[in-house]
Chain A
């Protein structure tokens, strides 16, 4: 038997409620910092991970321009101008936290469109890469130090080589001189 209009309406309300809980739960669980931005560059939504990383509460930052959060303001403005057409962007930026701490972050930006295809803003996800950066810098320093160390060893070897080869050549010259003198002496004795 077909459901009545009232039953369908009740079911739709329940589905909406479930969907709402799902979205909120998922957003709270997501370990990646995510925010939704409107076409004017204003933050509309800010998840728990974003709150944790930036030290801003959602209600403090919602309604503020995204440029508030990053050091590279001109780059953000450029991305905002282009994202509607390019659809996706990824790169590195510097996050400025509420306590003005600078954190290097990887960002992913994806444009949003409504069901009619009209541009309605974008999602921006960002993750802290300061540990990776520190590791990378540490690694680069190690490589630099090892390269310097190796170069010093090579220089030392070259000096040794020059020294030993020089001595060998001198000995050869001396041997030739002895041979020449021996020959001259023998010749004179006859």
Chain B
């Protein structure tokens, strides 16, 4: 992957993300014992034209969404991570998220969480939209549509990992899984994620 080319495309992106979205992945690096590599990641991002300073980020402050995408691409590049690693990292994120702690009212049951998810999305992004499309207690499934969110294909994996963890917080089951069944990068009008549990 040519990161310079990716940055040129990413810089045109409009929209912002809460600092929390970036900081949770930094916590993941600590969890993986890669804290010492943070300077390297920051330096590489700076060289690519992103003026990020991890130590100065604030959870609730807004930052350009492309910084977050670039951070993930750089992590993938530096650590030679696979999509599975990225999925694992984003699945970890809600565990250390300040927003999750603060917005615990959204995680009181699967149904409540499902209905409140569009609000939760807006706590993280000032663009795109999450639509709580279908919830079935009987079929044990939830369907979400993510609209107007075409920033980079890697974010499909990030969303999947994150959504899954949120579901794991509110579904009393050891077996919860997620699948992206529609994707804007495959010609669909939106991303569709189906979460099922046993």
Contacts and interface: CB of A to CB of B under 8 A. Distances in A.
A15 B27 CA distance: 24
List the 5 closest A-B pairs by CB distance, nearest first: A62-B95, A45-B101, A114-B105, A39-B108, A120-B105
A38 B170 contact: yes
Contacts of B107: 38, 44
B96 interface: yes
A103 B109 CA distance: 31
A58 interface: yes
Contacts of A58: 95-96
A83 to B, nearest CB: 13
Chain B interface mostly: helix
A120 B96 contact: no
Interface string B85-111: 000000010111010110011011100
Given A13-B60, A40-B108, A62-B95, 5 more contacts: A36-B101, A38-B169, A40-B109, A42-B170, A121-B104
Contact of B92 (A39, A59, A114): A59
B95 A63 contact: yes
B162 to A, nearest CB: 13
Contact of A120 (B60, B108, B168, B169): B108
A145 B58 CA distance: 61
Given A40-B170, A59-B92, A13 B108 contact: no
A85 interface: no
A79 to B, nearest CB: 17
A13 B19 CA distance: 12
B128 to A, nearest CB: 21
